[in-house]
Amino acid sequence: METLNTTQQISTRQLLNLDDVKNITGFSTTTIYKHVKDGIFPRPKKCGRSTRWRLADIQEYING
């Protein structure tokens, strides 16, 4: 239930930071990056020095 509230709170933004992704998925930082490396989880995009995930990619992963 908390995951849905978090998703609703950030639904107006298109790019998510690591903390947003952790809150939505319930995964730890280590798990997220391991799944990215293994090709299981969407790859983040680099925005300058920041790392961001597209909200649409995360939603597709959750719904897929």
pLDDT, tens only, 4-63: 555 555 555 699 999 999 999 999 999 999 999 999 999 999 989 999 999 999 999 999
Q: Do residues 21 and 59 make contact, with C-beta atoms less than 8 angstroms apart?
A: no
Q: Do residues 18 and 59 make contact, with C-beta atoms less than 8 angstroms apart?
A: no
- Alpha helices by DSSP H, listed for the chain, are 2-10, 18-25, 29-37, 55-63
Would you give the DSSP letter of residue 64?
-
Does this model's pTM top 0.85? My answer is: no
Q: What pLDDT was estimated at residue 29?
A: 98
Polymer length in residues for the chain: 64
